[in-house]
Each structure stands twice: as C-alpha cells, then as structure tokens.
Amino acid sequence: MSTPVAANVITQVRERVKAIETMPSIPQVFLPLLDMLNLPPDLVSLNEVVKLVSYDNTIAAQCLRVASSPLFGLAKSPDTIKAAVISLGLRRVQTILLTCCMGKAFPAKDWPLDPIVFWRHSLGCAMVCRQFSEKMGGGDREKAYMAGLMHDIGFMVNCMVFPKEFGAAVKYALERQIPLDVAELATMGFTHCESGRALAELWNLSDDMIHVIAHHHNPERSGTAQPLVALVHLSDLLCRMRALGYGYYERQKVDLVEDPAWAILLREHRKLDGVDLVRFSFELDEAVEGISHLVSTIMAGGNP
C-alpha cells in the first residue's frame, strides 16, 4: 500500500496545521470528557460528567436526542443526562456526548468531502468497532467506538487547511475509483493520516488515539496500540464495502481474513475467529438507515 511519508513532510504538515487560526474549535467539554473516558470507570463520577456538560446546554440537549437512536438502544428520549446514564451507563453516555462534540467541531459545509458522507462513515466505523469488540469479548468497547469515530479526522483537517490540494485528491480518487488515501499520497505527497495526527497532537489526544489516527491504513506501523489500530483498519474496510464508505465506488476486493490486521487482532482476541463476517455485514446493512438518521440529528446543531 502507501509508502511511509518522509519525516520532513510530516513536520511541514504539522506546521501548517498549527498555523491555521480557524482550526476546528472543539466544544470545551470535549477534551475533559475524552480524558475521563481513559480513566478507570470507578474514578469517574456521574456528577462530574453532569457538571461538565451543564456548561454546554446544546450538547446536552443533543445528547438526549441521540440517546434515543436505535443504535444506542433507548426507545424514548431520556429527560436528563442523569436519566440517560441510568439507562445506558455512564461510559455510553460519555461517548454519545463526545459524538455530539465532534459534530459541532466539523459542521456541514461545502467541502471537497461532503461532511454528511464523512459522518456516516465515521459513525458507521464507530459502531462496527464497538460491535466487533462486543463479538470478540474483552477489550474496551467505548474506547473502540471513539477510535472508529475519530480515525479519519484528518479528512476534515484537509478540508480546512488544504482545501485545494485535497479537492484535487478527491477528484483523482473518484475518477479512478481508487481509495482516497492512495489518491492523497499520489497527488499531495501525504494523507489524512499525517494531517489528522497533527490535529490530534494539537488537541493533546492520548497516544492510542494518535496511533489510530496516524496508522489506521497501516496498522503494522503502530508500535504500542496495534490491536486497536488493527480493529479500526478492519472496520474501516468493512464500512467501505457496505454502503458506509466515502460516497463513491472503490474498485477493490477486500479479504479481511487475509489482511495483516486480522492476524494482529487475532493474537489478542482468539474469539475473532468465530465472528460470522457475512452475518455481520447483513447486520451492518440494517444499521445504515439508523446511522444516516443519527448523522442528521448530530448535524442539526443544538436546537431541534
């Protein structure tokens, strides 16, 4: 696949991302929430989360609406964050809040990559990561979800920081029906992995998350977070093969079991072998409508 990007290119990308003043302003509650997700569950209290969220009413309101999506499993919108936590658990509610924050950081605009398509893919990937880790047993499901949700933020960085170059890359990919990262590398000399990484560093994300963002197209390059990166890599491929890709036909044949990421993940989770990939794909197809709906809720902003 892609050749490693030279260190000096990475530095240049980093400098340009830093220099941009209109960098996505993530809602203030985002980073503290994300940090909390990394703490052992017994160290995080409901009250802390509620207090944090009370600083941003729109996020809280949106969270309550998202919680009633079939993908999160509540039949009726809870009235308060507290009620949501009682039904869904604290960690699940945290990831819902984080999802809403991400929607705010990258609102709908006329960008080279349609944000709606981008969000469908990212949310799809988040769901698949979570379901994969559920099926494999063990592993942190909510962390897997966040990894899937954030893996491609580099695309949004490209839209904001390198709109012209990235626009050309998208066009190149569409015309040839090839993967976007291959087109990025061919036309820009770097990919969303490098620009995403620059933003992740700027935001001080955890090392695991940085690895996911930087290496999800080549999981074997991640040293410490290999299984998580491999999980995202496989989920990304599966989404792209099941109507949750980047909105165009990719001439590709995907053999998940033969992918090096499969072996990486299998070392950690023996139960992966028993996952019925065909049935999994059918279930994913069923989720597509719910995901699209969720995207419109998230993009609708704070007020219904």
From candidates 47, 79, 249, 303, binder to another protein by CB under 8 A: 249
Q: Please name the amino acid found at residue 227.
A: P
Q: Does 236 bind Fe ion (CB under 5 A)?
A: yes
Question: Is residue 142 a contact partner of residue 37, using CB atoms and an 8 Å limit?
Answer: yes
Q: Does 152 bind Fe ion (CB under 5 A)?
A: yes
Pick from 173, 129, 88, 165: which is nearest to 287 by CA?
A: 129
Among another protein, Fe ion, none, what does residue 152 contact (CB within 5–8 Å per kind)? Fe ion
Q: What single-letter DSSP state applies at residue 216?
A: T
What span, in angstroms and rounded, lies between the C-alpha atoms of 118 and 295? 10
Which of residues 37 and 212 has its CB atom nearest to Fe ion in the complex? 212
Q: Please name the amino acid found at residue 39.
A: L
Q: Does 65 bind another protein (CB under 8 A)?
A: yes
Q: Does 303 bind another protein (CB under 8 A)?
A: no
Q: Does 301 bind another protein (CB under 8 A)?
A: no
Q: Which stretch binds Fe ion (CB under 5 A): 34-42, 74-82, 149-157, 162-170?
A: 149-157
Q: How far is the CB of 260 from Fe ion (least distance, A)?
A: 16
- Residue 184 has which token pair? 């990025």
Pick from 193, 184, 198, 177: which is nearest to 232 by CA?
A: 193
What span, in angstroms and rounded, lies between the C-alpha atoms of 176 and 213? 25
What span, in angstroms and rounded, lies between the C-alpha atoms of 95 and 84? 12
From candidates 6, 176, 285, 300, binder to another protein by CB under 8 A: 285
Q: Please name the amino acid found at residue 78.
A: P
Q: Does 56 bind Fe ion (CB under 5 A)?
A: no
Which of residues 72 and 190 has its CB atom nearest to another protein in the complex? 72
Q: How far is the CB of 51 from another protein (least distance, A)?
A: 26
Q: Which stretch binds Fe ion (CB under 5 A): 36-44, 55-63, 152-160, 274-282?
A: 152-160
Question: Is residue 87 a contact partner of residue 37, using CB atoms and an 8 Å limit?
Answer: no
| CA-based torsion, 240, 149, 151, 107: positive or negative | positive
From candidates 6, 11, 134, 282, binder to another protein by CB under 8 A: 282
Q: Please name the amino acid found at residue 176.
A: R
Element of type H or E holding 161: helix 153-161
End-to-end CA distance of the chain: 44
Among Fe ion, another protein, none, what does residue 12 contact (CB within 5–8 Å per kind)? none
Q: How far is the CB of 92 from another protein (least distance, A)?
A: 17
Residue nearest to Fe ion (CB): 236
Q: By the criterion CB under 5 A, which residues form the site for Fe ion?
A: 152, 236
Residues that bind another protein (CB under 8 A): 65, 68-70, 74-77, 177, 237-238, 240-243, 245, 249-258, 276-279, 281-282, 285-286, 289-290, 293
